[in-house]
Each structure stands twice: as structure tokens, then as C-alpha cells.
A = this chain, B = another copy of it.
């Protein structure tokens, strides 16, 4: 399925969840420190303007509020029920919510899928209650939801006990509750606030993707953040990535559970299904996602994007008053794919006219420490550089930011920024607590800063990459190179060896080596073949998918006599390797020349059909230099896939060699993507290995193929 074809789920009225008129706390405790007591306290003490309805038959009043014996007794309107009852009572409680007309439930209770066994059955009951009642559920096993500016703290745990959290245009959806709030605390300490924070728990009903999608659509959210361990619907993740680009709104994604170890832990933690990280990365690369690695990185990216300016290209100017930071920023800009062109002559003339004698006006430029006391001059120089059309963005480090006039400097920067559409990022380089006044000015004007030169260069790189995605965004709809071809598939799962696989490939216009299947009884008598020598001679058997390992291949066989001998030999090797193998004959194929590549395709259970590409044989496999794209895709995407491989220079006439037929290779990739997309229900995996790519104009050719089908 292509991303645009995905039906987006019917949107629950999330605004009722995020801004409820009333909240029932079912299982409310009179001990306000307990899980059932904390939300009562948070909702009554921190400023929530709606109604709070504790529900517990044991009390008539609680924390100064009337307490209700059951959900039916709760006054309306009540949009959310927080549920903190025993796991076994949760399903029944949800049904009662449905009867009472409460649209949403936030289930704190643990002991469901994450503990296995009995918990799985309980979660199944819960899902049935959701379906029957129509109540939409966050959790179970979640720690709650926070609407920060309106102080609607519907949760528990230390992360919620801060009535002074900063507010900002950022939504955070997390698959780990406790961890998310510790990140919120660290990011808040850096001066950055959130608007909504959601802990999704086991996601028995509403999922991380539901929330991300909703936040993309909300006007009060400019940046969406997600901590993600694993999701079940990769195609929807892709659709959301596309939507983010269409809306020009970044999703900052912190993906964990990527190592073998981490994934095991992730599975046992939220019991999420988790696809291979490489497919997540393919989805992130394709859509409006920016991967973040730690809370500092998250803070920097939020600040960069809430600056609301994007660069038009990758050209950056670096200005400092200390050479060391310039060197560092240049190093890291280079790593980020940014270029540092020279200043234009007019810029140089203007700078030389005003700057100290020992300044250097290379890029990075060093205005020298002599400007320490002279913030007007620094900003005058910065103005000149901002006006230079050679640059798409500018990053600066000014050594004197903690001086007494730091706020005047910041005010000057704010005035400069008001008159440019280029991003300006500041490497602050001083403990923020020593310069609160200037940082407040920057915050007010949304001028991004990062603590260190390294982090600033990274933030500039992030802005560039997102802007580049927007600039190169193509229509979601892609052209088919051919109409869907009906194909007959085995009813049961099977392994189609080379000779049988070739028909499927040929049907989609994928060029295969010219070859002939000699039946077993024709081996010794074979005469003139309509093939060009030398040839490759290989056993054909559905039971030997990897012929080389069985010793059942002979290459560069020079003539007919040698071919006959080779045919006998490969059959003998195959028999020795696997005595009961069904031998359907010997395949004789014209030898192919060109650069050896690997092309593969598979149907991932979470992401669907995907195509992969690599250069060379074992080397590629060991170095994992492989690119992925989701199927289907067109020639241009196929070319990008080839281009992003670090071995791509081999296709362009490397070291005096002739350029290779990239168009033909791209054709193989794109057509394979349509083959697997059109027949995804039948295909498990396809291996085209090797595919030889000849010099430009002479095409590409599959020299061996294997298709693993599955039961429809």
C-alpha cells in the first residue's frame, strides 16, 4: 500500500481528552500520595479549571470534594475517567464509563500484557470492553496525560509533581512514562516547555501513532516529539511521516530498543512488536522525522524548530571571537553535510573596514577577543554576514555573552533577526544560569541557541536536513512503469529456484541472464545450445536455495565439452551435499559481466513490502552498506537509493573506469518494487544476487534469483 492510500483512522474527539470539562477518578484514594490519590490532588491544587469527580464507594467526600459511589453517579459533562482500580475490574469499569457517556479513559492499572500469561487475557477483555463501550482508552499501564498550560495533570508519579512546568508549542508522546517525564524535567531545566505530554502505556486502544497524528493536526502544536520503542503499523508510521512533511511540521523521534539487547528489553517492557531498526530508519528518512539521541539533542532541536526559520540550502557561515570554537564548528558542520563557502568580496571589504587588525575572514571567521567589550561591533559584523547571499544560515559564538552588557547584545541580536529570514543559531558556551536576562530576550524572540559549539553545528545540520526534505518533496502519487501483471503463485509456501523465479521477474520486465534448463537425462547428450560461451553451470533444485554453498556451481565454462563435464559435476556435488534433494536439471546461463550488486525484497510484517540494495558480495553483507526503500517506488527514488550508498561513486566512472548503467539498475529496483507490491500477499522474500550492472547504455542483468513465496 502506498502511504497516500492509507485510510487515516477516524479521529476521536481528542480535544475532549486533552481539555476535559470534567474528570472522574475511579479508584480515588483518600491518601493523596497513592496512585489513586495523586490525580485528585494534582487536578485540584495546580489550577485545573474543570470539575473533578472522585469515585470510590468507601467515601462520600475526599480532599474536600464530593466522592461518588460509582460511575453512574458522576455528574455530566464528564469527558475523562482516570482508572486506578485492580486489573480484573478494569474491563467492567470501562463498560460503566460507556454507559455513563464518558468518552475517554486513562488506565493507570498495570498487570496486563506486559506481565504475560493472565495479563494477556485481561488485556483481551479490556479490548473487548473498548469495542463494546465505545470508550477510547489510553493505557493500560500508563502514567497519564498532561495539558501543561492549563495545568490539567491527569497522571501520577514524580514527573507530575511540578506545578511550574514551562509551556511551549511542543507535544510529547512517549512509550515510556517514567522516562518521558524525566526527559521533560531535563528539557524544562534548559528553558523549554511543552503543551501536551502523553504516556501511552500498553496502547491497547489509542496508540502513539494516533496521538502523533492528532498533534500534527493541532494548530497549537508546532513540534511533535515521540519516544518510541516499537509500533505495530509501519505503513501508518510512513503515512504520518508524509503528513508531517505536507504540514511542514517536524516530528522529533527518539527511537530506542534498536540493539538486540535493547529490543528484548523493549519487548518485555511495553510488549511492543518491534520491526528491525533499519526499516524504522528508512521510514524516518522518508518522512518528516528527525531522530534525536538524548535530552540535550531534543532540547536543541526543539529550539531550532521553534525558531520558525528554515535555511534554503546547506551553505553556512561560522562567526566566532575565538578560533578554537570556529575550528570545532567547522569540523561538525562538515560532518552535518553543511558547506562553508567563502565570504563574497563585498562582504570582505565591509568587514575589513570595521574589524580589528588580526581578525580572520575565512569561514569560519574569527572577529577576535578584542570585540569582548564591543557588542555593537560584533553585531555590525554579523549584519554584514547575514546579508551575504552566499549563506543560507549563520551560526555564531561570541565570547563575551556573560558580560554585564550581555542583554544589550541579545537585544541587538533580536533586532537583527527581525530583519532576516535566515536562521541564526547561537553557541552560548556559558552556564545559562549566569545569563538568564539575555537568554530570556532570545527566548522571547524565538532565537535558537545551544549550549556548545558542537551542539549548535548539529542543530544547524538538523534544520538543513528537514528543509531539504521539504524542498525535494515530490507528489505522494507515483507512476506505474507497467500495469499489474497477473501471476500464478503456488498455493502453499515454497522456494522458487532460479529457473522458476525468472518467469516472475521477466513478467515485470526485469532482465535475467539468458539461460537454458537441461533436464537430468539430457546432461551428457546436450549438443549445440543457443547460448554464448563462456557459461555458468548450476544445479536446479528447489531443495538447494544456496547453490554455491553446495558446490553446485561452475563458472566461466568455456565450451560445450567443458559444459557437459561441469553439468555432471554439479549434479554430483548437489547429491553429495543433500542426498534427497530433488534435482530438476542443470541450468546453463550466459556468463554476465559488470559490477556485482545485490537487490532484494521482502514483506515485513510491520512495514509491508520493502526493497533493499547493496554493492558487491560478502563485503557489503559484512559492512551492512545497504539502502532500503518501501515498495512501490519510481525510478527517481531508485536512483536516490543507489546514490545514498557509499559505494555509489563506482557507478559514475570511478578512477578512469566507464560510467555504469544506473538507469537500468534503477529500472530493476523500481520494477522489483512493483512486483512485490502488487503480489505482497504471496511473496515472502526475493533475492537477486548478483545483479550485474554493465557500462552505461548496456543494461543490467540478474544472474541468479530466488523467490520465497508464502501461503496466500
State the A residues within 8 Å of B (CB). 110-111, 114-115, 143, 157-158, 174-180, 182, 185-186, 188-189, 227, 229, 256-262, 264-266, 268-270, 293-296, 321-328, 330-331, 333-335, 340, 358, 360, 362, 364, 366, 369, 372, 399-400, 402-403, 429-431, 433, 451-455, 549, 615-616, 618-619, 622-623, 625, 646-647, 649-650, 654-656
Contact = CB atoms under 8 A, between A and B. Distances in A.
A167 to B, nearest CB: 17
A261 B334 contact: yes
A143 B321 CA distance: 14
A64 B355 CA distance: 35
A182 B188 CA distance: 23
B179 A451 contact: no
27 contacts: A110-B358, A157-B369, A158-B403, A177-B324, A179-B323, A179-B328, A182-B399, A185-B402, A186-B451, A189-B433, A259-B331, A261-B330, A262-B328, A262-B330, A262-B334, A265-B364, A268-B360, A269-B360, A294-B454, A549-B656, A618-B654, A618-B655, A619-B619, A622-B650, A622-B654, A623-B623, A623-B647
Nearest to A186: B431
Contact of A259 (B295, B335, B455): B335
B324 A178 contact: yes
A265 B322 contact: no
B182 A366 contact: no
Given A261-B334, A431-B185, A619-B616, A178 B650 contact: no
A333 B261 contact: yes
Contacts of A403: 158
Contacts of A321: 178
Given A258-B331, A431-B189, A324 B623 contact: no
A372 B158 contact: yes
A465 to B, nearest CB: 18
B362 A176 contact: no
Q: Tell me what chain A mostly uses at the interface: helix, strand, loop, or mixed.
A: helix
Contacts of A364: 261, 265
Rank and list the top 5 A-B pairs by shortest CB-CB distance, nearest first. Answer: A176-B324, A179-B324, A178-B322, A269-B323, A262-B331
B179 A452 contact: no
Interface centre among A257, A265, A270, A295, by most chain B C-beta atoms within 10 angstroms, is A265
Nearest to A277: B331
B452 A229 contact: no
Contact of A179 (B182, B322, B400, B623): B322
A298 B295 CA distance: 17
A618 B649 CA distance: 10
Contact of A269 (B180, B264, B324): B324
Contacts of A182: 322, 325, 399, 429-430
Contacts of A143: 369
Contact of A327 (B257, B294, B325, B646): B257
Interface centre among A114, A333, A623, A647, by most chain B C-beta atoms within 10 angstroms, is A623
Contacts of A333: 261
B229 A324 contact: yes
Contacts of A646: 622-623
Contacts of A322: 176-179, 182
